[in-house]
Amino acid sequence: MNVLVVAETMNRVSPNAAKRLIPRNLALNQSTTTGEFRRPVRVYRSNVAYSVPTILSLSEDLLRYCPHQLRLFSVNTREKQDNTAASPSKPTGARDESQTQKAKQSDHIVEASTIPSLEHRTFSDANLSTSDPPIWTWIDTYLPSTWKPYARLARMDKPIGTWLLLWPCYWSTALATSPGVGSLPDPSLLALFGVGAVVMRGAGCTINDIWDADVDRQVSRTSSRPLASGAVTQSQAWAFLAAQLTTGLAVLLSLPHTMYCFYWGAASLPLVVAYPAMKRFFPYPQLVLGLTFNWGAWMGWAATHGSMDFAVVGPLYMSGITWTLVYDTIYAHQDKVEDRQLGLQSTALTFGEDNQQRRILHGLAMATYLQWMLVGHQAELAAVYYAGITAAYGHLAWQVQSADFNEPHNVMTRFRSNSAVGALVFGSLVAGTYFS
C-alpha cells in the first residue's frame, strides 16, 4: 500500500487554486525550503494508504495538467512497517540532502518513474523551473473532466495571448470612433471582438499544437500540452479546430459591413496557418506572428466604416508588429536553449548575444512609439493621447532594460505585463478621440 505525496512550489499556485488542485484527502504535512525547487515548497501527504491504481486515479489530472507546479511521489508504507534494511530511493533530481534525510527517517519514497503508468510523466528540473505554469481558473472547478483537455488546448487557462490578440482590435475600434465629446467605442463591436479573440486565439493554438506536437514533447515548457501529452488525439484536435473556425466565422459574419469584413478576415487565414511552420526554417518567426496577431488593427476600422484609411490604420498595424517583435522575443528566451538543440528558429537566437539583443529591442520599442505618434498625428488626436502612449512606451522600455534573458521567470513576468501596454494604448486612443 502507498500514500500519495505532493510537493507544491509556493507562490506558483494561489491558495484558492491549491485548494481545488490538491485532493481533499491530502493534508498539509510540512513547509520547507529545498535546493531542488530553489524556493519554498508545501508538501502534502495523504492521511491514509492507497493501492497504486487508486493513486494513479487521484493523481491523473495533476500529472497531466500541472507538471510545472507539482511533484508527485508514491510512498510505500509497507516498507516502513516491515522495517527493511533496504535504503530508500532518492526522488528524481533531488539535490537537498537534508530533505532526503527526512524522507529516510519517515517513509520509503518510491519515485514516480518506478510506477509504470507514470513513466512518461515524471518531472525533470526543467519542468520544475518552467516560467509558464497553467493558471488554475474555473476550468478545474466547473468543467467536466472530458472538456478540460480542450480548454487547455485553446489555452483558456493562459489568457495573456487572448489579450495580446484583442488589443489591436480594440485600438482600431477606438481610433475609428467619430471624434468629439461623448463619442466612445461601440460596446457591441467590442463584445464581438472579445468573443472573436477568445475563439480565434484558441484556434491558432490548436493549429500550432497540431503542427508542433512532436517538438512540444521535447521541450519541457510545452511537454504537458494536451496533444503532446496524449490527452487529445490528432483527429480530436482537428474536429475541435473545425468547431473553433465555425464559431469564428459566425462572429465574423456578425460584424457590420459583413462582406467587407469577411474579405479582410479571410485574408488573415494564410498567416494563421503558416505561422507555426515559420520556426522551422525562418530566422524571424516573431515577425510573422506580428503580422498575424495584429490583424485586428484592420478589422476594427473595417467594421466601423466599411472602408479603410491606410494612412491612419497602416501605422497602427505596423506599431503592433514591432510591439510583437519586442514582447515575443523576450518570451522566446524561455526556450532558446532547447530551440537551439532542436534546430528551431527564434529572434531570441537570431538577434545575437544579450547586449545586442537589448539594443535591437530598444530600437524596436522606439519604432513602436514613433508609429503610435504617427497614428496620433494622422488622426489628429488630442494631447492626452500622447501622454498615454508615452507611458506605454516607458513600460515597454522598462521591459527591455530590466529583462534577464537567462532567467525564465523574469522574462515571463515581463511578457505578461504587455497586457498593461495594450490597455494604456487603448485608453489613450479612447481619450484622444473623445477630447479631439
**179 and 59 both lie in a single domain:** no
**389 and 330 both lie in a single domain:** yes
Which has more pLDDT, 254 or 20?
A: 254
Where does a domain end: 129, 162, 177?
Answer: 129
Where does a domain end: 129, 162, 183?
Answer: 129
Distance (Å, whole) CA 298 – CA 301 = 6
Does the structure show a pLDDT above 80 at 77?
no
143 domain residue, yes or no: no
Q: Exposed (0-12), middle (13-18) or buried (19+): which is 265, by Cβ within 10 Å?
A: buried
**426 and 297 both lie in a single domain:** yes
**88 and 185 both lie in a single domain:** no
Query: What CATH number should be reported for the domain holding residue 427?
Result: 1.10.357.140
147 domain residue, yes or no: no
Band (137; pLDDT cuts 50, 70, 90): low
98 domain residue, yes or no: yes
Band (361; pLDDT cuts 50, 70, 90): very high
Domain span holding position 417: 152-434
- Beta-carbon contacts of residue 147 (< 8 Å; ≥ 6 apart): none
C-alpha cell at 56: 494513479
Q: How far is CA 423 from CA 6, 152, 183, 418, in A?
A: 38, 25, 18, 9
**294 and 420 both lie in a single domain:** yes
369 domain residue, yes or no: yes
Tally of domains within the chain: 2
393 domain residue, yes or no: yes
Determine the 3-state secondary structure of 108 from DSSP.
strand
**183 and 45 both lie in a single domain:** no
Band (158; pLDDT cuts 50, 70, 90): confident
pTM: 0.71
**19 and 66 both lie in a single domain:** yes
Does the structure show a pLDDT above 60 at 278?
yes
- Cα angle at 269 between 265 and 271, to 5 degrees? 120
21 domain residue, yes or no: yes
Choose among 162, 154, 148, 144: nearest CA to 66: 148
Determine the 3-state secondary structure of 6 from DSSP.
strand
**202 and 349 both lie in a single domain:** yes
144 domain residue, yes or no: no
Band (78; pLDDT cuts 50, 70, 90): very low
Residue-averaged pLDDT of the chain: 76
Which has more pLDDT, 63 or 138?
A: 138
136 domain residue, yes or no: no
**390 and 314 both lie in a single domain:** yes
**212 and 334 both lie in a single domain:** yes
Instruction: Provide the β-strand partners of residue 76.
Output: 2, 108
Does the structure show a pLDDT above 50 at 199?
yes
**422 and 303 both lie in a single domain:** yes
Does the structure show a pLDDT above 60 at 123?
no
